[in-house]
Amino acid sequence: MRIAIMATCLGDALFPDVVRATVTLLTRLGHEVVFPAGQTCCGQMHVNTGYLKEALPVVRHHVEVFSEADYDVAVAPSGSCVGSVRHQHAMVARRAGDTALTERAVAVASRTYELSELLVDVLGVTDVGAYYPHRVTYHPTCHSLRMLRVGDKPMQLLRAVEGIDLVELPQAEQCCGFGGTFALKNADTSSAMLADKIGNVLEVRPDVCSAGDASCLMHIGGGLSRLGSGVHTVHLAQILAATREQPVGAA
Amino acid sequence: MTTFLGVPLRRHAHAPESPLRGTESFPQAARRELANPQLRANLAHATATIRAKRAAVVGELADWEALRDSGSAIKADVMARLPELLEQFEAAFTARGGTVHWAADADEANRIVTELVRATGADEVIKIKSMATQEIGLNEYLEEQGIAAVETDLAELIVQLGHDKPSHILVPAIHRNRTEIRDIFVSEMTGVVEGLTDDPRELAMAARTHLRRKFLSARVAVSGANFGIADTGTLCVVESEGNGRMCLTLPDTLITVMGIEKLLPTFADLEVFLQLLPRSSTGERMNPYTSLWSGVTPGDGPQDLHVVLLDNGRTNALADEVGRAALHCIRCSACLNVCPVYERTGGHAYGSVYPGPIGAVLTPQLTGMQGHDDPNASLPYASSLCGACYDACPVKINIPELLVELRARSVDDERGGMPGGWDAAMKAASWVMSDPKRFAAAEKGLQLGRIVAGRDRKISTLPPPLSGWTQSRDLPAPPAQTFRAWWRETHPEEQA
Amino acid sequence: MTGSREAVLGRIRAALATAGPVAAQPVPREYDRRGALAPGSPEAIELLVDRLIDYRAEVQVVAPAEVTAAVARALGDAASVVVPRGLPDDVLAACEQDGRQVVGDLSEIPLTAAQLDGIDAVVTGARVAIALSGTIVLDGGPDQGRRAITLVPDLHVIVLRADQVVQTVPEAIALLDPTAPLTMISGPSATSDIELQRVEGVHGPRTLRVVIVG
């Protein structure tokens, strides 16, 4: 299958390892990965902060890039960015009264998938041949759970990883407190939510806390780093990309 | 970064005691509440308890989602046909001996209730917990007019005796634990038994003794209503303690204050809502007592019945196609109990009698947002948009979507004036992110972050407003190479 | 009628007009309108008993011949009992046992709230019971009386016929007369206002005993 990678702005700029791991994984599974070069950002931050007018050109740009590129399906290693594509882009276009853009946005959204959705639902694979001999706990992230309804797909994928010691995260479904600009506008509340999330992570003594969203991981990882906890954050894509030959460390 | 600095925050003078508006923004109020570890512990315990109960009883019903779909559609139908349904309700209630009053705002509702109480000659009323009467500040108004209002719900009693404010729609004293409640009873309640412990049963019995005489002698009661049935003129109150039945049954006069959005078209619609409400609110299969009355029954209960239909800003919300959905709310408070923000800040931080996710939507719609220094303009941002509220809502109000819509409205109303440089930052980000060349150029700027990060490859202090991030989190150093640059390097054949 | 009737209705109409016409959507009703259990069936009774006990109500399921003894047991050591005028003879007989004072609440000379407060117990029938939620509905019928008598005394004994037990809420709602004053009772009065911990018995009857006659 010809799969277009949606790097996301955060993945591109701050967490390229996550996007590279996604490419590595899909290539190993025998697929052709393409990178629509003009892509930038999904515009979620603008939408969620109320700047819908400013979101419009960003959304328009994304829709144009992913309409014109040649691929079968698109994938992003991010539940919230795919959530934005699927649940916000058409809304932004509709609100601006742009019918043509609305239709194109719906079409792009219909073939854009979050990583675990792509693997389990589209490619029909749960054992991706990964090897990851570390103790891992998984934070399911709000937008994967409640916007995309990915359910236990990430856990199905992780359970099939050889050597993994997967431990359940207490109160896993609670928000980590990131919420984009929420972390800045309501920094105290966000920090309080993060403190509880980190408490739950540390309770199960993992080597690694994983998630399907680099943004939530940046938040959780930032807190774990500040505490000097020794627990690291690793994206789901990186665990699934890891093999005996090409390991991804817990650090 | 200079665009973020130096924008002064204007202060806004609002009436300090408005039931729908606090005196400080949500982040300011939240900061204060978060600093109270006892509050944090009480809320964590209480919300976790009720979340588990709700999940268990909702899980028992295989047709739960079908009930939610029906509940949502019934409320949408009510909003679309509101004038005719209100007139139908009025005709039915009046035909059976009741009197219907219409109040455009809080002041008018308070005056109507006061006149009705005065007409009976009573100087005291007993009250069932009611959000509508809290919203209009009825108790305070009655006190000013020389009429004592006695709250009879245990939690409301705790709040009233503690000279406190309610912090939850259903459990107004959720922020108090048993020891605090015992202390309030001992210091404020007359005739408390010696050696009252903090056992919840003992505390409930103390409340029973305290209120018994009031119930048996009261002549006037004031209630809210959970539902009003248009086709039969029926009013419905769901409750647990029996204080509601006391108020609805024993006095001669009963005055019910009900928001105009509380209607259901037909009596049969109760078959949906009497399943949705108790399971969502207290996490019970059914609340202990539900009372329904349709006008006067000779020889049984109050013979002088009134209902005050309250607008008080509801028509503002109704005028907006998106905002209208907030009026579907049945005040179950399921969204509060699952909200990670509410769980940490409690209800007082919202400054309104309607706290939590639904309060963050409903309050600014009822009052309007009067500029970005209006405390209520900060409420739509009091959410991480995690979506737990939408999942829990028995009438499927898409609260995250409504919050985003209100944020957009607040931004659009205030363009050029949002504090903290948000306008400039968002405009700049939009300009950068809608063009790949500009985006790539901005990414190069990130390399500056590598220098800031230094040798441990993390950033621990940032200037405002990003300082909010680094107060509790490090930021990783930007990588040496973006994904885009790596791709270009590894796929030279794609370069045009 | 007082107040701003025309003003409020006018504002609502204007608001609806601003938002544009809303096409009437049919209300989906895919939820269970009836349960799988037949009214009065042993399975329905079993479910009701389970739910009532869960609420800390006390339940006896008895044959018709045992009603008098069961109600007498339910009344326990209550020294006085108030009864509505339409109780069946076998139930009334139980009230009169053990030298108990039986007080009839007559519409001509209703008891005052203070008088009711001096009476230990009340015995009534019911209109219908909902097994799934453990709810018993009173509608003020002759065997139930006015609402005050089932509210003030501290012990409420309800005698329910098996054929009055339905499984679901919709089945019960369909049987009710909306013009009657209705009281739905699910266990004794209770509060969860202190740390969300349920405590049975606050202002309403602190003890609820149900006799189901099957």
pLDDT band for B371, please (50, 70, 90 cuts): confident
Instruction: Determine contact, residues A66/A108, Cβ cutoff 8 Å.
Output: yes
C27/B153 CB distance under 8 A: no
pLDDT digits 0-9 by tens, B322-353: 789 999 999 999 999 999 999 999 999 999 99
pLDDT digits 0-9 by tens, C1-16: 578 999 999 999 999 9
Q: What is the bridge-based pairing of β-strands A208-211 and B458-459?
A: unpaired
pLDDT digits 0-9 by tens, A93-141: 999 999 999 999 999 999 999 999 999 999 999 999 999 999 999 999 9
Q: Which residues of B touch C114 (CB under 8 A)?
A: 216
pLDDT band for B456, please (50, 70, 90 cuts): confident
B178/C30 CB distance under 8 A: no
Rounded to a whole number of angstroms, the distance from the CA of A209 to the nearest CA of chain B is 16
pLDDT at C204 over 80: yes
Distance CA B153, CA B241 (A): 7
Distance CA B5, CA B463 (A): 9
pLDDT band for B15, please (50, 70, 90 cuts): very low
Q: DSSP character for A168?
A: P
> For chain A, which residues make up each domain, given as ranges?
2-122, 135-241
For chain B, the chains sharing at least 3 beta-carbon pairs closer than 8 angstroms are A, C
Distance CA C23, CA B321 (A): 12
Q: Give the residue among B263, B102, B318 at the shortest CA–CA distance from C14.
A: B318
Q: Which pLDDT score, from 0 to 100, does residue B458 have? A: 87
Q: Which residues contact A228 (CB under 8 A, 6 or more apart)?
A: none
Instruction: Determine contact, residues A167/A231, Cβ cutoff 8 Å.
Output: no
Among C9, C15, C197, beta carbon nearest to B318: C15
In the block, tokens 């964590």 appear at B44
pLDDT digits 0-9 by tens, A29-72: 999 999 999 999 999 999 999 999 999 999 999 999 999 999 99
> What are the angstrom distances between the C-alpha of A103 and each of A71, B34, B200?
18, 45, 58
Distance CA A152, CA A172 (A): 12
Q: What is the bridge-based pairing of β-strands C182-185 and B289-293?
A: antiparallel
Q: Give the residue among B254, B191, B267 at the shortest CA–CA distance from B222.
A: B254
pLDDT band for B422, please (50, 70, 90 cuts): confident
Q: Which residues of B touch A36 (CB under 8 A)?
A: none
pLDDT band for B1, please (50, 70, 90 cuts): very low
pLDDT digits 0-9 by tens, B152-195: 999 999 999 999 999 999 999 999 999 999 999 999 998 888 88
Structure tokens at B435: 């063009």
Rounded to a whole number of angstroms, the distance from the CA of B146 to the nearest CA of chain C is 22
A143/B387 CB distance under 8 A: yes
A235-241 mean pLDDT: 98
Distance CA A89, CA B211 (A): 56
Q: Which pLDDT score, from 0 to 100, does residue C213 have? A: 97
Structure tokens at A91: 């809304």
Among chain B residues, CA nearest to A147: B387
Please give the sequence-ordered ranges of beta strands (E in DSSP) within chain C, or none if there are none: 2-3, 58-62, 80-83, 101-104, 121-124, 128-130, 135-138, 155-161, 165-166, 182-185, 190-191, 199-200, 207-213
pLDDT digits 0-9 by tens, C151-187: 999 999 999 999 999 999 999 999 999 999 999 999 9
Which bin fits B53, alpha (ψ -120 to 50), beta or left (φ > 0)? alpha
Among chain B residues, CA nearest to C114: B216
Mapped onto helix, strand or coil, the DSSP state of residue B106 is: helix
Chains B and C touch (3+ CB pairs under 8 A): yes
B427–A contact, CB cutoff 8 A = yes
Instruction: Determine contact, residues C24/B84, Cβ cutoff 8 Å.
Output: no
Which bin fits C67, alpha (ψ -120 to 50), beta or left (φ > 0)? alpha
B471–A contact, CB cutoff 8 A = yes
B344–A contact, CB cutoff 8 A = yes
B479/A185 CB distance under 8 A: no
Among chain A residues, CA nearest to B445: A13
pLDDT at B14 over 90: no
Q: Which residues of C touch B46 (CB under 8 A)?
A: 195-196
Q: Which pLDDT score, from 0 to 100, does residue B453 have? A: 81
Q: Which pLDDT score, from 0 to 100, does residue B7 have? A: 35
In this prediction, what percent of chain B has a pLDDT beyond 70? 95
Reported CATH class of domain A135-241: alpha beta
pLDDT digits 0-9 by tens, B477-491: 899 999 999 999 999
For residues A139-166, one letter each, b for 16 or more C-beta atoms within 10 angstroms of the residue's C-beta and e for the rest, the string is bbbbbbbbbbebeebbbbbbeebeebeb
Q: Which pLDDT score, from 0 to 100, does residue B10 have? A: 37
Q: Which pLDDT score, from 0 to 100, does residue A159 have? A: 98
B235–C contact, CB cutoff 8 A = no
C72-89 mean pLDDT: 96
Signed CA dihedral, B41, B45, B48, B51: sign only:
negative
pLDDT band for C18, please (50, 70, 90 cuts): confident
CA B300 to chain centre: 35
Among chain B residues, CA nearest to C182: B292
Inter-chain contacts counted by CB atoms under 8 A, chains A and B = 194
B255-281 mean pLDDT: 98
Instruction: Determine contact, residues B189/B161, Cβ cutoff 8 Å.
Output: yes
pLDDT digits 0-9 by tens, A156-206: 999 999 999 999 999 999 999 999 999 999 999 999 999 999 999 999 999
CA B272 to chain centre: 22
pLDDT band for B82, please (50, 70, 90 cuts): very high
Q: DSSP character for A166?
A: E
Q: Which pLDDT score, from 0 to 100, does residue B419 have? A: 67
A186/B391 CB distance under 8 A: no
Residues 90-109 on C with a CB inside 8 Å of B are 107
Q: Which pLDDT score, from 0 to 100, does residue A250 have? A: 53
C27-38 mean pLDDT: 96
Distance CA B271, CA B274 (A): 6
Mapped onto helix, strand or coil, the DSSP state of residue A203 is: helix
pLDDT at A247 over 80: yes
B51–C contact, CB cutoff 8 A = no
Helices (H), B35-177: 37-59, 64-80, 82-95, 106-120, 131-135, 138-144, 154-161
B34–A contact, CB cutoff 8 A = yes
Instruction: Determine contact, residues A193/B341, Cβ cutoff 8 Å.
Output: yes
pLDDT digits 0-9 by tens, C132-154: 999 999 999 999 999 999 999 99
Mapped onto helix, strand or coil, the DSSP state of residue A135 is: strand
